[in-house]
Structure 1
Amino acid sequence: MSLHESFVKFWRTEGKYMISHNPERFYDNLERRMEWWTDTVQIDEYVLTLRSRKETTRALIVAFYDYLRRTEGVEVESPLYDVSFYDYAFMRQLEMAKFLQQRRTLREIDEHFHIDERTRREDLQALENGLEIFGAEIKITKTREDGRVFYESTLHPIFLPLNLTEVYAMTEYLKNVLPPDDPNSQLVWDIVRRIELQLSDYAIDKICPADGRPDVSNDYRDDRFFSTDDRHVQMYLMKRRSSCRILWMGKEYTGTFEPRRSGEGRGYVFRTESGEVLDADPRDIEVIRESFVYK
């Protein structure tokens, strides 16, 4: 059976249910090409060079290859199994912001996203300018080092589709995870307000009517700031899970800041190299800055 015949059967039984936007036009476009293609390599090349609906097409073709395996015993080796694309620039730019949690070069970005130079340039420029989402701004930074260009970001876009009860449970818990006088309590409250910033007016009236619509600054602080700020350096080190030295009650200790384990209460503790948990108030602990390096 030819690829064209197999594709027509696949579309009638499975494929048409995968396409929600203009399926007839989508099918006509692919079906005409299937008449001329003689092997799956040609199909792969077509998908990899598309400029629109690339992920939609890739997902459909992968499903078609799976159909060939199930119905005709044809095993297809295709690069389309190991990649993913983004039909909308906004989606791709958010994924790019996450990819740049580690400092990357232009080549690494190109290889990961399989995009042309123009698209990559437009995406990076948009991220350098800042994407505003629900009042929050996602930005990346560009640096030059030894003649090479690097891009990175410490901001991680997180959008949780929650019902209102789940939002209420999460924000109320966060408000109480640390006592008000803890040096990191303001950091936690900032997170709560940014969550509330995404809510509808109806939701605000339901779960936090006394607070009203949040007024949250877009002046985000990155990890470099937290690593040098006395109020938040402990939280930064806990996130890193790396060893450092501290001073407490006139004595020096080496260990890590960790979330409290089950039964140890709320908040976080300092655990020494020997495994001992210090009976210390985090406000009384002084971090020795020379004991760690920001990275």
Structure 2
Amino acid sequence: ETPELLARTAPDVRDVFIAIAGGLALIIALSRRSKQTNTIAGVAIATALMPPLCTAGFGLATGNLNYFAGAMFLFTINTIFIALAAFVIIKFLKFPMVKYINSAKRKRIARLASFVAVLVFSGSIYMFVNLFKENQFKQAAQHLINDIKESGISIIDEVAENINYKNKSIKLVIYGYKIPKEELDNWEAKLFEYGLEQTKLIFQQGADDTDIRNEVKSLSDLYAQNQKIISSRDESIKEKEDRIKLLETELSKFYDTQIPFVQISKEAQINYNGLSNLSYAKMVQTNFKTTDTITVFNAKWYDTVPNTTNQKLLLKKWLKTRLNLDTLQLNNN
């Protein structure tokens, strides 16, 4: 549905003047000797008669009888007043008239045509006045709605159905805080100031939601407190996790510095038959400038070993290589 379609379902007196203008264009064009003026006549008729017929067809196709009736009324207006305008010009230009043998029949047809023309013209005036009053009503209602909004009342954007001219009612849907009845009654009392004395002002709003809003606020505050507690717990857990990671790192470093002495002693016994005893310890020493931790091994050899000096050097070299140590002290007994 377009504005152009709707405009042809509610004709008024303005359409009468348009039809008269079309009829004048038609007869003036046909009264010229030039054949090119026939185009003007065709356009005048087409623009006046085709749109209402198309609208009437749309009304029949959609089952909307109001559209069909309004469009056919417009078609009737155009047909009658185009013919009337043409007849007036023909009389003015003194074209030869058809002679009726029966003068009574001619008068009867003339009276009938005049009656239909007056009836259609009166109907178009009535519809124009009704349309004018409806527009005034809608403008006044819109002015009232704007003032209500400016007063601080929240209104859902109104639709065309909320302003009903036929029922003389204005329906407004309010959201947000419940408006006191005294304030709403005050607006109803002001209707006469907008020219809406016989109009019914309907306010539609939900129940008082103050308690619900307070409950929602309490829940929001409780949620914020819980979030703060959870955040505090998360921070505490994170501190503990960091502490655990630090201890794990320190423990890993400690294990890295430990020497697998049992395995070393077994390998040393296999590689050096003359070794009777092997001990191990960590010794911390300082020169009063720096402090260092040194790995110390004590080795005892059987008396039967012929060359302990060479064995001692080989054992020390093997231990440094095996343990990947730069500094190592070996004491031999």
TM bucket normalised to smaller: under 0.3
TM-score (norm 1): 0.22
Q: Work out which of the two has the higher radius of gyration on C-alpha atoms and give 1 or 2.
A: 2
TM-score (norm 2): 0.20
